Structure 1
Amino acid sequence: MNAAQCRAARGLLRWTQADLAQASNVSEVTIRNFENEKSVPQRASLSVIRAALEAAGVIFVAENGEGPGVRLRKGG
């Protein structure tokens, strides 16, 4: 997951950074710095952030010639 995917995933869910912080139990500052590309969180933090987004219905799309992306599960 990269910063743009994280921002896009939150947008699809209509979550604020605070919502994601609460769902993933990661500080809002960590999420803000990651999304603003000021820092990259530890691997464990990235993992729980991604898991929270996936649990809410986000699917991470791998590089497929058009670049990585995100989408929502059907019915999500």
Structure 2
Amino acid sequence: MAKASLITDSSSPGNGAGAVPVLPEPFQIAGKPIITGPQCRAARAMLRWSREDLGERASIHYITLCNFELGHNALKPGTAQLLRLTFEAAGVLLIDDDGSGGPGVCLAKPVT
């Protein structure tokens, strides 16, 4: 799980003074994380992509990916969704934690 850090509500006026702090739990869809750091790392390995490769494909800086995969920080919801969609477009399915097993990844089609 990501370490707690300050995320501010972008709807707050001004320079962030008075912003509402939010602890970055993994961003969720229907109570489940969009993507976890270990899923991101495993999906990249399946596709034989470096962080730089993924960063170029998803338009996300590789340092952001590194920090996310290592659990140093969480992603913004839109960035997490973009990662998930990038992997799915490449043929990697992200398996949600359904209670019978943890989150994981699998190939939907062979890697070319």
TM-score (norm 1): 0.92
- The size of the alignment, in residue pairs, is 76
The runs of 5 or more residues in structure 1 that have no matched partner are none
Indicate which of 44, 48, 52 corresponds to 2:78.
44
Using the TM superposition, give the Cα deviation of residue 74 of structure 1 relative to its aligned residue in structure 2, in angstroms.
3.0
**1:9-56 CA distances to partner (integer Å, 9 max, x unpaired)?**
001000000010001001111101000100001111111111111111
Deviates more, 1:2-11 or 1:61-70: 61-70
Aligned equivalents of 1:75, 1:27: Cα separation in 2: 27
Indicate which of 52, 55, 61 corresponds to 1:18.
52
Using the TM superposition, give the Cα deviation of residue 75 of structure 1 relative to its aligned residue in structure 2, in angstroms.
3.5
Aligned equivalents of 1:35, 1:75: Cα separation in 2: 24
Taking every aligned residue pair, what percent have the same amino acid on both sides? 36
User: Are 2:71 and 1:62 equivalent residues in the alignment?
Assistant: no
Aligned structure 1 segments of 4 or more residues deviating by more than 4 angstroms? none
C-alpha RMSD of matched pairs (Å): 1.1
1:45 match: secondary structure: helix
Pick 1 or 2: higher relative contact order, CA cutoff 8 A, min separation 6: 1
User: Are 2:111 and 1:73 equivalent residues in the alignment?
Assistant: no
Q: Comparing both structures, which one devotes a greater share of its residues to helix?
A: 1
Aligned equivalents of 2:109, 2:89: Cα separation in 1: 13
TM-score (norm 2): 0.64
1:63 match: secondary structure: coil
